[in-house]
Structure 1
Amino acid sequence: MAELVGPRLYSCCNCGNHVCLHDDIISKDFQGRNGRAFLFSHTMNIVVGPKEDRQLMTGLHTVADIYCSDCREVLGWKYEKAYEESQKYKEGKFILEKPKIVKENW
């Protein structure tokens, strides 16, 4: 009989709150403030901070930091607006920094 296994998740490194699903990863080839980062299509149990313009490696973007809804740890940011046409695919997507999340159900 096969074991039933739940979805592979990522949780906040600080408190263990579930913040995203492995299946929602778009790319693992991103850079965050603290090293490697993943681009996700969806997140959960996060709070979105105020929007601000930031000059990132790929150009100017309007972003909002995202925080764990339980402990308020900064986990990454949400892309609100991309000014370069080639970067528009990021709009509405989320960057979660690898050092800020831990794997669960793997």
Structure 2
Amino acid sequence: MGRLFLLNLEGRTYNCKFCKTQLALVDDLISRAFHCRRGKAYLFNNVVNVTVGPPEERPMISGMHTVADIFCCCCGQMVGWKYESAHDDSQKYKEGKFILERGGIIDRMDSEFYMDTRTSTSDTEDA
């Protein structure tokens, strides 16, 4: 087995829920209106730090697709799938795109965008 090199993303990212590895930039998010067997799923233009499994034919709500499951390259958890091809012409826009299952990812903010929203008391409020 070779050496593992991770792509480091800058900005707000979606990360693996299990090991916190960066998977996708928020800027690459296309849609949050997708669903999988386990709940909500998000469609992305690009995903990194994953390994792609073998393609297989899979019936989905939108019809038959050729997809390949994707796994976090650090912990091996299945985090979604890649659309290899769509059988229906109306679904061709999904080809080459990625689904990340909401249950397997967390939304991480870059520290420069983090804003603490907890309530606090100031010295003037105590007087």
1:37 maps to which of 37, 41, 51? 41
Q: CA RMSD in A?
A: 0.9
**Structure of greater relative contact order (alpha carbons < 8 Å, 6+ residues apart):** 1
- For this pair of structures, how many residues does the alignment match? 101
Counting strand residues as a fraction of each chain, which structure ranks higher?
Answer: 1
> What's the counterpart of residue 90 of structure 1?
94
Q: Quote how far apart the aligned CAs of 1:33 are.
A: 2.1
**Runs (5+) with no aligned partner, structure 1:** 1-5
> What's the counterpart of residue 20 of structure 2?
16
- Relative to the length of structure 2, the TM-score reads 0.78
The letter for the 2-side match of 1:67 is F
Q: Distance in 2 between matches of 1:67 and 1:18?
A: 12
Following TM superposition, the consecutive aligned residue runs of length 4 or more in structure 1 with deviations greater than 3 angstroms are none
> What's the counterpart of residue 82 of structure 2?
78
Percent of aligned pairs with the same amino acid: 49
The letter for the 1-side match of 2:85 is K
Q: Distance in 2 between matches of 1:100 and 1:32?
A: 12
Q: Distance in 2 between matches of 1:8 and 1:78?
A: 22
Deviations 1:7-56 (A, max 9, x none): 11010000000011111011100001210000000001000000000000
- Relative to the length of structure 1, the TM-score reads 0.93
The letter for the 2-side match of 1:64 is A
Q: Distance in 2 between matches of 1:10 and 1:42?
A: 12
Bigger Rg, which one: 2
Secondary structure of 1:44's aligned partner: coil
The letter for the 2-side match of 1:75 is V
Q: Distance in 2 between matches of 1:89 and 1:75?
A: 21
Q: Distance in 1 between matches of 2:41 and 2:92?
A: 18
The letter for the 2-side match of 1:70 is C
> What's the counterpart of residue 100 of structure 1?
104
Contact conserved, 1:50 with 1:64, CA < 8 A, in 2?
yes
Secondary structure of 1:16's aligned partner: coil
